[in-house]
Homo-oligomer: A and B are copies of this chain.
Amino acid sequence: MRGLYFDGKELKYREDLPIPKREGEALIKIIYAGICNTDKEILKGYHNFSGIPGHEFVGIVEDAPTKELIGKRVVGEINVGCGKCSYCASGLERHCPYRTVLGILERDGVFAEYTTLPEKNLHILPEGISDIEGVFVEPIAAAFEIPEMVHLEPNEDLLIFGDGKLGLLIAQVMKLYMRHVVLIGKHKEKLKLAEEWGIEGVLLQDVEKIGRFKYVVEATGTQSGFKEAIAHIRPRGYLILKSTTASGAELNLSPVVVNEIHIIGTRCGPFPPAIRALSNRWIKVTDMISEIFPLNRYKEAFLRNNEKNTIKVIFEI
């Protein structure tokens, strides 16, 4: 089959990849797959991954143990637990210490014609959601992990650092929960888009004008973003971390103790609320699509993904 293969050093387009097969899992034909910044990290060596990257997708079940699934249009949760440990037993496969993760950890991903996943990871996409919108279910689910982890008071304001693809989705999800959402970023065009959705956009250069918030989301994945975020939290407030890419650097936790701040890491989230939000048209994603590429133009796609004003780049498989 056609697909992108990362050998640990270089990403290559190949047409000779075998169609994947995993005992007891569904075989899915990929329609669209989205580029996430985690993919960029993986191609830099994160998790020492080798194989087919990519974890955001919409596809059609081509084969499955449960025959009723065949032909269904699906999206899929990316963590596959061992099914035996205490985390799996309590529904927390996302934290199973023996898990594999689609296109991230010891499991081939979706930048290819086919992938496999256990049936329990699949969610059927309702008719009201288009194929390409479905690509956004996985990152929207990651945004819904915030209310999963933190009690958000609806009569409060929330501040987000980072107007990237994830920051823009988080802003929309948080708008469902909070009185007012402020998004800090470096990109006028992206902030303008957020303004159209009823979110207040503020350029990073004007951050000094912004006061302190009870809830702050760090979605830049940079140390400077982290420091700015900490500086804008009220005593006893919440800093929600939404990026795995924070690199080691000088960091003084003294203000966290003095101001009794809660820092909460959040990662993958629940799919059903993401599907519900898209079905109900509560979240707009099509304006976020910057360009669609075929797989064999992957080099252009990743270059486009890195451009300043790009939001979402998608592969049409």
Q: In A230-267, which residues have CB < 8 Å from any B CB?
A: 235-236, 241-267
The answer on a CB contact under 8 Å between A262 and B260 is no
Q: Residue A252 contacts which of B236, B248, B256, B264 (CB distance < 8 angstroms)?
A: B248
Partner of A258, one of B235, B244, B248, B251: B244
B243 engages A226 (CB within 8 Å):
no
Q: A236-B92, A236-B95 are in contact. Are A260 and B265 (CB under 8 A)?
A: yes
* Interface check A149, CB cutoff 8 A: yes
Q: At the interface, yes or no: A298 with Cβ under 8 Å from chain B?
A: no
**CB proximity to B under 8 Å, residues A51-94:** 87, 92
**Are A250 and B248 in contact, CB atoms less than 8 angstroms apart?**
yes
Distance in Å from the Cβ of A222 to the closest Cβ of chain B? 11
Which one of B92, B246, B253, B266 lies within 8 Å of A226 (CB-CB)?
B253
Q: Count the A residues whose beta carbon is within 8 Å of the partner chain — how many?
A: 35
A95-B236, A235-B87 given as contacts; is B253 within 8 A of A241 (CB)? yes
Q: How far is the CA of A251 from the CA of B226 in the complex (A)?
A: 12
Asked, given contacts A248-B250, A249-B250, A249-B251, whether A95 binds B259 with beta carbons under 8 Å apart, the answer is yes
* This protein's copies in its complex: 2
Chain B hits for A258, CB < 8 A = 244, 265, 267
How far is it, in angstroms, between the C-alpha of A259 and the C-alpha of B87 when the chains are bound?
A: 12
Q: Is the CB of B247 within 8 A of A252?
A: yes
Residues in B whose Cβ lies below 8 Å from that of A92: 235-236
CB–CB A263/B262 < 8 A: yes
Output the least CB separation between A103 and chain B (Å): 16
Residues A257 and B247 in contact in the complex (CB < 8 Å), given A92-B235, A92-B236, A235-B95: no
Q: Report which residue of A87, A236, A253 has the largest number of chain B beta carbons within 10 angstroms of its beta carbon.
A: A253
Given A235-B87, A262-B262, also A257-B251 (CB < 8 A): no
Residues on B with C-beta less than 8 A from A235 are: 87, 92, 95
* Most chain B CB neighbours (cut-off 10 Å) among A245, A248, A260, A261: A260
Complex Cα–Cα for A149 and B255 (A): 16
Contact of B246 with A248 in the complex, beta carbons under 8 Å: no
Name the B residues within 8 Å of A263 (CB-CB).
256, 262-264
Seed contacts A92-B235, A248-B252, A263-B264; 7 additional CB < 8 Å A-B pairs: A92-B236, A241-B256, A244-B254, A248-B250, A257-B265, A258-B267, A260-B266
Interface residues of A (CB under 8 A from B): 87, 92, 95, 145, 149, 226, 235-236, 241-267
The list of the 10 closest CB pairs from A to B, nearest first, reads: A95-B235, A263-B263, A256-B265, A257-B265, A248-B250, A248-B252, A251-B251, A246-B253, A244-B257, A260-B265
